[in-house]
Structure 1
Amino acid sequence: MKCSMCNRPAITFIRRVKKYFCEEHFLQFVLKQVRRYLEKHGIRRKKILIAVSGGKDSMVMLHTLKMLSEDFKLDITPFYINLGITGYSDPCESVVREVSEELELTPIIISLREYAGYTIDDAARIERKKPCSTCGTVKRYITNRIAYEGGYDYVATGHTMIDEFAFALHNLYSGSIDTFLRSYEITDTRKDLKLVGRIKPLYYLLESETLTYAIVNKIKYCNLECPYAQGHPTQVHKEIGLMGEYRLQGYVQRILSSLNKLKKMIPERPDNNIRFCKICGYPTVTDICKYCRLKAKFSRE
């Protein structure tokens, strides 16, 4: 097949836009989606901490933001937390270091063991259950704190359109309505609350598109799956999204658009319950934040 934009051989077909793309025009398409996101939300002349896992999507995010950093005057820094997950964290850290060096960027690498005194493997052993909730708490806390103390305007995460779809469905399925309502394309920075805003540059892309981008650009990424992620409910919701996208053109994007419209119809709740942790001084809805409670719990074991 021929590229819909020129007469060269196509390397991929993107069903949701009904177009074939050659290598050059496909790369332009991906960068256009990231550019569209940055322009829509006024992300220009900003200092951004790029939270990377070493996986495909986060490495593609890092690459695209580097490609667009000059146009948008972005000051970007890769950030990786080594969670101490056996057979997973170290290989991913190696990838982050290698890709950062190739892009002439200096990453910030944090060891959870050194930072908090325990690892996610320790948490799984002590709690005798999957540590996904603990892991999420730890990553959010440390990333926000590093970003706040480093004077960053935003934290960038590698969530794609299908990720957002799966998270939305999972929150509705599990009854986490507050979490569902707080999830937007972008969250604002609140320096008064020590909260750094989050952006999702890959919001308008599907995983099949980030994979093709990684292959075409020969971007190295860690192809390992977190051993604790197997069987997580979000995987089921992601499969629903992928099936819907296969059967109905633009399914995921349309559902997300409708859900975002629904959120805007619901009045925002005031943040009167937010206070500052008595131990670390960072925002929480209780006297002592969950991160500090976890740290105290695991340090006793």
Structure 2
Amino acid sequence: METRQLKIKAAQIRMDLLSIIHRAKTGHTGGSLSNTDILTALYYEIMNIDPARPKWEKRDRFIASKGHSVESLWCILADKGFFPKEELETYSQFGTRLIGHPNNKVPGIEMNTGALGHGLPISVGMALAAKRDALSYRVFCLMGDGEQAEGSNWEAAMAGAHYKLDNLIGIIDRNRLQISGSTEEVMGLEPLEDKWTSFGWNVVPVNGNNMEELVQVFRAAPEVAGKPTLVMANTTKGKGVSFAENVPAWHHHVPSDEQLATAHAELRSVIEELQQEGQVSQS
């Protein structure tokens, strides 16, 4: 996809995730909005995947360690054809596969996640298996910044560097807000880039809501042979919805009918502007 098309897709995914959260009356809105650009870049431009063969041995792996922000992932997997898009209407309803965290009964989900600090250790194992089996797939692991308080991440970070897993790409959705406030007030993380560097990772800071930067960084990984990559994706929680951006209460909040209409109108405006830009460039 062209960058403009990726931006349009990200806006459409934001509209979809807001709709399923509104319908279900539950969901982690802020974090799903902040990670949408990251997931859009990965699933529509970067990762080597095949929805018709979700267990294909050579597929790239994606692990959503911050599993609570699953709504954007559900919408993308449906849009890519891993399961029927109509199934999104069952999100968080009784008996659904599409629960509030990734569920590996759904094609495209590698593992159940939700208990923070579990995704990166599993990703290290997957990346090590690829090395030992001489397979070329990469493993992408999306973590939250509040999740960095979990000690298991740092054990995994040591192991990833020790085994020189340059096929492993960790991503931190660095929106600086968690359920009970700012990350620096709850459990100070800074200097976070320096910490990951000291653990032997190649750290690449990026604007996590800038599609051009994301695609460029993911395409280039690994920049350093023999080192795992940590993409420090600086994002805005609630990105794309004016009244939700950088508002802690939207960590886990459901839009009202009026708020949903307002958010959809804002995102449609973004899509229309991008479409007009494309028409001008082609004329």
Q: TM-score, normalised by structure 2?
A: 0.29
- Rg larger in 1 or in 2? 1
Higher relative contact order (CA 8 A, sep 6+): 2
